[in-house]
Amino acid sequence: MARFSFPFRRQYFRLGLRALQEGRLGWLVSTAVKVVAVPASHLVGRPLAGPLMGILVPTYRCNNACFMCDLPKPALYKARGQDEYDTSQLKSVIDDMAAIGVAGLTLTGGEPTIRNDCFDLLRHAHERGLFVHLNTNGYNLDNQPGRIEQLLATKIDAMNISLDGAVAETHDRLRNAKLGFHRIAKATEMILAGRERGRPTINYTFVLGPDNCSEVPAFVELARERGVDSVSFIPLAGCYEGAEQHALNKLEEMDEAVAWLRSQKSDRRHASFIDNSDAYLSLFPQAFRSVPSPLRCLVGYHNVIVDCYGNVYPCAFHYEVGKNIGNVNDKPLREMWYAQEYQQQRENLTACTDCYWNCHTEINLLYQSPGTA
């Protein structure tokens, strides 16, 4: 039977459908222009539009301690005498994101909800007319009365909740999060019960690796039973100690988990629940084996990241390793976006093969020649 393959992430389709339902035709048109402008910008050697996606990192602090995480440590910045931006400074960054024309804004971290002003920032982004997305481990959402109500009041559009196992023992161990599995279940139930007109959508994000690959089918079933809107998967990067040896013993089992997911994608009844495109899933075996990405990367034209110290990065990989383009304290974001320094980084990144991050790879897949992936 021929494989049914939706050409891109279902999340993109849902955003477009919501914009249509809410009469946000201007947003739809401007976003379509940005999509077309990405490869055109590369051809002419300068950005013809603002980025599709803006990412704000309000903190690097986190209340989980995931074994595979290699994000910058807050203590390094503190030792340099740097403090996280306050609320007004982060709102200014959001204003700058809106000014350069990002279609949507994601708050990520670290763990954004550690900050007391997280919901205020989300609300501000919504009021600026952006589609707003939250990445969270869910650990703080049920720890105080009224937290879920505050979250829902921000009117954000979507959220990813990290869940790395079908059972509590697996998830809590991999994320070093005591009772994390239980707290995610409780928060999910409360959000689904309190949300209106399907806002925000909830996606469970699963980092697929040797320790949890056998739980993939059970995880998908668990997510269905809880009533979330979708699930998505990211291949575990080989950045942690002992990664290569650890993965070699499980490669076949990891590949089987991916094959099962792709078989689910081939059935129209299940395709929409698994958010990843089939093209992205097909790259997982290469990612597991640390094979360089086969894709041309245009992330510099469709993405911008600003962290809690004002540092600007072109992609998630660069902000993990600390290679920033500049700082908004020294140059306004709009000026930086069109500056030669940023353009040089864009051109350098087209040859980068270092990552399989879903937020970058799924968009890059839209611009590849047939048969690349």
Beta-bridge partner residues of 133: 106, 158
Rounded distance between C-alpha atoms, residue 354 and residue 331, angstroms: 28
Rounded distance between C-alpha atoms, residue 342 and residue 340, angstroms: 5
Residue 128 CA to its chain's centroid (Å): 21
Rounded distance between C-alpha atoms, residue 341 and residue 110, angstroms: 27
Helix or strand or coil: residue 161?
strand
152 and 195 in contact (C-beta within 8 Å)?
yes
**Predicted confidence (pLDDT) per residue in 184-243, tens digit:** 999 999 999 999 988 999 999 999 999 999 999 999 999 999 999 999 999 987 655 555
Helix or strand or coil: residue 280?
helix
**Predicted confidence (pLDDT) per residue in 22-53, tens digit:** 888 888 888 889 999 999 999 999 999 999 99
Give the pLDDT of residue 11: 75
The label of the residue with tokens 């350069």 reads: 100
DSSP symbol at 53: E
Give the pLDDT of residue 250: 86
Beta-bridge partner residues of 57: 307
Sheet with strand 201-208: strands edge to edge? 230-235, 201-208, 158-162, 131-136, 104-107, 53-57, 303-307, 311-313, 326-327
Rounded distance between C-alpha atoms, residue 55 and residue 313, angstroms: 10
Helix or strand or coil: residue 74?
helix
pTM check: above 0.75: yes
Residue 207 belongs to what H/E stretch? strand 201-208
57 and 319 in contact (C-beta within 8 Å)?
yes
**Predicted confidence (pLDDT) per residue in 328-367, tens digit:** 999 999 999 999 999 999 999 999 988 898 888 999 998 9
**Predicted confidence (pLDDT) per residue in 138-164, tens digit:** 999 987 789 999 999 999 999 999 999
**Predicted confidence (pLDDT) per residue in 1-15, tens digit:** 334 444 567 777 777
